[in-house]
Amino acid sequence: MNGNMRPDSMERITTKALAEKFIDEQVKIVREQVGDKRVLLALSGGVDSSVVAALLIKAIGKQLYCVHVNHGLMRKNESENVIDVFGKELDANLIYIDATDRFLNLLAGVSDPERKRKIIGAEFINVFADEARKLEGVDFLAQGTIYPDILESFKKAEGKKAVKSHHNVGGLPDDLKFQLVEPIKLLFKDEVRVVGEALGLPHAMVYRQPFPGPGLGVRCLGAITRDRLNALREADAILREEFDNFGLNEKVWQYFIAIPDIKSVGVKDESRYEGWPAIIRAVNTKDAMSATIEEIPYNVLHKITARITAEVEGINRVLYDLTPKPVGTIEWE
Ligand code: XMP
C-alpha cells in the first residue's frame, strides 16, 4: 500500500517550477520502469488521461500508444480536439476509434440509467480490449488514477448505498495482463492541472469541467435516439459558448444541458411545433457530494434560450433547473 500513500513530506505542487521538478522526476521513473517496452493508454481527453499522455510522450515518445474511443456520446468537437492536440501537435501514436454505431445500437431502446451506464462501461472495455489485442509487445497500461481515486477506494467499504455506479472502466479481460504505470496517482486535481499547464497542454483542456464517463448518454434521458442526442450536443455547445462569452466558465464548476424524452406543444412560423425541452444545469460544489445552484444573470439565460430555440432543430423550450444536491443529483440520471 505504501506506494499508494502520499507521504506527509510531499510538497504541494502549486507553481510551474514545482511542476517541472515533478515532471523531471516522473520522466526518469517512467523510463526506468518501462525500459524499451510499449505502453497503452485509454485517452478520453479528460484532464487526467491527457496529462498522463503528455507526460508519457515526454518520457517515452512513440513507445506510448494512446487509444481514443469515441463512443458517440462525446460533446461537440471533443474527439476532434484530442486528434488535434495529441495526433497532430504532440505527434503521438494515436489510435482513434469511432465506435458510435456499436454503442448506439446497443443502447437503442434502453431507458434505465444504470443499465445504460453498464452497457457503456462494458462496451468501452470491449472496444479497448479489441485494440489492445491487435498491438504487439505491449507490457504496460498507463492510467490517469489520481489521489482522490485512491482515497475513495479505501472509503467504499463503510459507505452507504451507492447512488450511482460512477466508475465505468472496470478491469480488463483476464487474457490482457499489464503492469500499471500511474504517474499522477499521488496528485490532487489542482496539482494535475498545474502539471498539465507546465507540460504545455491547452488551457481549455487542463481546466475542462468534469464530464461523466458515460458522457451525453446520461444527459439524453431515457432511451437514447440519434436525433435527440444531436440536439443535446448542439444545445450543450451553445450553452458552453455563452458561458465562455460571459466569463461564467471560471465561476461555475459544472454546467450542461439535459434533454428528457418528452415533447411539448410550441409554435414556430405560425405552425404547431412539437419539440423537446432543454434543461440547463449549472452547479457549484467542492466534492460533488453536495451542490448549490448558481444565480445566472437573466440576460445570459435569455440569450441561451433564444439561441437554442432558434438554432437547434427539435427544441422548443429551455428550462433552468434550480434544484440543489441533495435533493437532486447533479446529473439527471
Ligand atoms: P451526481 O449526478 O451523482 O454526479 O450528483 C456527481 C459528479 O459525478 C459525475 N458523474 C459521473 N462520472 N461516471 C462518471 O465518470 C458516471 O457514471 C457519472 N455519473 C455522474 C457528475 O458529472 C458529477 O460531476
Q: Is 183 found in the same domain as 269?
A: no
Q: Is 155 found in the same domain as 42?
A: yes
Q: Is 269 found in the same domain as 148?
A: no
**List of the chain residues with pLDDT < 70:** 1-2, 155-162, 165-170
Domain assignment of residue 32, yes or no: yes
| The three grid cell numbers given for residue 291, joined into one nine-digit string | 451542490
The domain boundary, picked from 206, 240, 268, lies at 206
Q: How much is the pLDDT for 169?
A: 44
CB atoms within 10 A of CB 35: 10
Domain assignment of residue 212, yes or no: no
Q: Is 256 found in the same domain as 146?
A: no
Q: Is 121 found in the same domain as 76?
A: yes
Q: Is 270 found in the same domain as 179?
A: no
Domain assignment of residue 213, yes or no: no
Q: Is 119 found in the same domain as 198?
A: yes
* Whole-angstrom distance, CA of residue 297 vs CA of residue 202: 28
CA 305 to chain centre: 25
Q: Is the CB of 166 under 6 A from ligand 1?
A: yes
Domain containing 306 — which CATH number?
3.30.300.10
Q: Is the CB of 329 under 6 A from ligand 1?
A: yes
* Whole-angstrom distance, CA of residue 216 vs CA of residue 21: 37
Nearest Cα residue to atom 12 of ligand 1: 212
* Whole-angstrom distance, CA of residue 184 vs CA of residue 283: 27
Task: Tell me the C-alpha to C-alpha distance, in Å, between residue 278 and each of 168, 188, 309, 312.
Answer: 26, 34, 9, 10
The domain boundary, picked from 206, 232, 257, lies at 206
* Whole-angstrom distance, CA of residue 184 vs CA of residue 148: 11
Q: Is the CB of 333 under 6 A from ligand 1?
A: no
Q: How much is the pLDDT for 154?
A: 72
Report CA torsion sign: 298, 303, 306, 308.
Answer: negative
Q: How much is the pLDDT for 117?
A: 97
Domain containing 36 — which CATH number?
3.40.50.620
Q: How much is the pLDDT for 170?
A: 56
Q: Judging by DSSP bridges, how do beta strands 292-293 and 138-142 pair with one another?
A: unpaired
pTM higher than the cut 0.85: yes
The domain boundary, picked from 206, 234, 267, lies at 206
Q: Is the CB of 118 under 6 A from ligand 1?
A: no
Residue 112 carries which DSSP code? Answer: -
Q: Is 195 found in the same domain as 119?
A: yes
How many domains in the chain?
2
Q: Is 191 found in the same domain as 236?
A: no
Q: How much is the pLDDT for 168?
A: 40
Q: How far does the centroid of ligand 1 lie from the alpha carbon of residue 117, in Å? A: 11
Q: Is 226 found in the same domain as 190?
A: no
| The three grid cell numbers given for residue 215, joined into one nine-digit string | 458522457
Residue 225 belongs to domain spanning: 219-320
Domain assignment of residue 304, yes or no: yes
Q: How much is the pLDDT for 150?
A: 87
Domain assignment of residue 11, yes or no: no
| DSSP state string for 28-78 | HHHHHHHTT-EEEEE--SSHHHHHHHHHHHHHHGGGEEEEEEE-S-PPTTH
